[in-house]
Structure 1
Amino acid sequence: MLTIVLLGASGQLGQALTKDLTALGTVLTPNRQQLDLTDSTAVQQWFLQHPADLIVNAAAMTDVDGAERNSVLCEQLNHQLPATLAAIAKEQHSWLCHFSTDYVFDGQKTEPYVESDDTGALQQYGRSKVAGEHAIISSGCRHLIFRTSWLYNHSGRNFLTTMLSLAPNRQEPFLVVDDQVGAPTSATAVADAVVSIFSQIFAMSQEQAHAVSGIYHLTAAGECSWYEFANTIFYYAVDEGLLEQQPEVLPTDSLSLNRAAKRPANSRLNNQKIQKTFGIELSAWQHQLGDCLQLIKKHTETGK
């Protein structure tokens, strides 16, 4: 039986992983009271007492605009923590599973990004995630780094849940950017894929497993703008009976929102590497959204 340590279990991705990782072994999920992830020494000491076969790092500072205002915390969670975990994984001969982002790129490419493309983050958040990736790779530990994009789930705070919570009492139209394109991706779909991949890895020989260590893009199939995503959310939500009517959504451009952090215009990621290596191909973003809304409807009806 494998011992798995999952960090960031309370987040939307962490919640999905907590459920799925039990298929692989015993899952330990230390909370903030038990382990201060900004304290590298405390993290090292904790893992001396709780060695793991697999370390899954779903902890991160994901507030893109907030990272501009609090660069210290951003560096601690997105750069220093992965570096510490990589050193631990190297020492304990563990696997490290880490999650990164489409925001490592500048968005200037006209095609979907592949894993080997040069990074060029436009904001503190993306730069810190790039630094975290580099720290893991340079450590020499066995690792899988999954870059995903536009992550959401049926619970927690994300674009989907925010739109649904604001819609019923909305008097004026929503203004949503139409000049950023990517693939909205369900945390549930990512978690399912990650568990499937590590099931394969722990069945491999050491040589085979070593050969697949690296960065992989993992997003839903297809693409859309945030404007298209918002309209589709409301259309599906009305169809599921979650909303009585579809709110008005108007397109706008990124500059008009005057956000602290700049976003990449092109967030599309090429998923061919993960398909060829592990046979993983996520469903279309529309399908994932439909599944997520059905789950929200179920929870609404049952009160859970």
Structure 2
Amino acid sequence: MKILLTGCTGQVGYELERSLQGLGQVVAVDRSRMDLSDLDQVRAVIRAERPGLIVNPAAYTAVDKAESEPGLAHRINAEAPRVMAEEAKALGAALVHYSTDYVFPGDDPAPRSEDDATAPINVYGASKLAGEQAIAASGVRHLIFRTSWVYGMRGKNFLLTMLRLAKEREELRIVADQHGAPTWSRTIADTTALVLAQAAQGGEGWWRENGGIYHLSSQGQTTWFDFTRAILEQAGIECRLVPITSAEYPVPARRPHYSVMSSQRLLDRFCSLPSWEEALRLCMN
């Protein structure tokens, strides 16, 4: 099977290129080959490669910038996945796509399930939800993995930012009233590969029974403040941390105060997931 992997230089795409080896012939493309803002190019690459599976971790992820670029965010996060879904359906292929905890408003302090009502409170979340809906409406065989607070040892993410700032400053003021589950990019990639290995054994019937949306986040929950404290402890860096509220750190895009998701559906059907603390330790080792 030929697997077309988008966004291979991103933090999730990089890990997926490694994790998907052995499941098929992986054709990994970055923005220079497939720019998701160019829908004609997206169609052309898919038609040229004719994959049996498309795995799409590429996305517009600049949450604050999206507030001033809603059209671009929507094109990359909603229109491009729609085109991928349509082209995959025409080829008889399947699509794996990644979404976000930000499809939820975060106003209820209980872990969200896949069936809970969505109501994004920022442009980024709305664009990702529109992508989910477009894929489902296409009728293509698909898996959508919603994940949260993604980090890794490459690219741009919270972990690398905190490591850099802690070396530059004596004090860091960190938001302490937003709750979520930090998720290592390698956890996402390895879990995806485990699920797809099962799909490869199950054929068409597997997709009918198991396709759809799954939450894929590390187990447990924390705040940005406590996540930062754990990062610095693992790294052996001393820096004074000051907890602050979201109101004390104004940004263009509103964030959910509570965006923890239940991954029980994935746990019941496929495999286990690490705690966020264990994943962080493995990542930093």
Whether the TM-score (by the shorter chain) exceeds 0.5 is yes
- The structural deviation recorded for 1:205 is 3.5
Query: One-letter code of the match for 2:231?
Result: I
2:277 is aligned with 1:286 = yes
Query: One-letter code of the match for 2:209?
Result: A
- The structural deviation recorded for 1:143 is 0.3
Question: 1:55-89: per-residue Cα shift (whole Å, max 9, x none)?
Answer: 00011011100100111210111010110011011
2:87 is aligned with 1:88 = yes
Question: 1:145-175: per-residue Cα shift (whole Å, max 9, x none)?
Answer: 000000000111111011111212213x111
- Matched ranges for 1:7-156 at <5 A: 7-156=6-155
Question: 1:166-198: per-residue Cα shift (whole Å, max 9, x none)?
Answer: 212213x11111111011000001100000000
Query: One-letter code of the match for 1:223?
Result: Q
Q: Choose the corresponding residue for 1:174, options 159, 169, 172.
A: 172
Cα distance in 2 between the residues matched to 1:284 and 1:31: 30
2:239 aligns with 247
Cα distance in 1 between the residues matched to 2:30 and 2:112: 35
SS of 2:64's equivalent in the other structure is helix
SS of 1:204's equivalent in the other structure is helix
Report the TM-score, using the length of structure 1 for normalisation: 0.92
SS of 1:109's equivalent in the other structure is coil
8 Å CA contact 2:6, 2:34 repeated in 1: no
2:235 aligns with 237
SS of 1:55's equivalent in the other structure is strand
Q: Could you tell which deviates more after superposition, 93-102 or 207-216?
A: 207-216
Cα distance in 1 between the residues matched to 2:34 and 2:168: 40
8 Å CA contact 2:183, 2:218 repeated in 1: yes
8 Å CA contact 2:142, 2:207 repeated in 1: no
Cα distance in 2 between the residues matched to 1:23 and 1:103: 32
Query: One-letter code of the match for 1:104?
Result: V
Cα distance in 1 between the residues matched to 2:134 and 2:173: 38
2:262 is aligned with 1:259 = no
SS of 1:138's equivalent in the other structure is helix
- The structural deviation recorded for 1:210 is 1.4
Query: One-letter code of the match for 1:206?
Result: E
- The structural deviation recorded for 1:37 is 1.9
- The structural deviation recorded for 1:264 is 0.3
* Number of aligned positions between the proteins: 285
How large is the RMSD of aligned CA atoms in angstroms? 1.0
- The structural deviation recorded for 1:120 is 0.5
Q: Percent identical across equivalent pairs?
A: 38
SS of 1:42's equivalent in the other structure is helix
Question: 1:36-58: per-residue Cα shift (whole Å, max 9, x none)?
Answer: 32122221122111011110001
Query: One-letter code of the match for 1:120?
Result: A
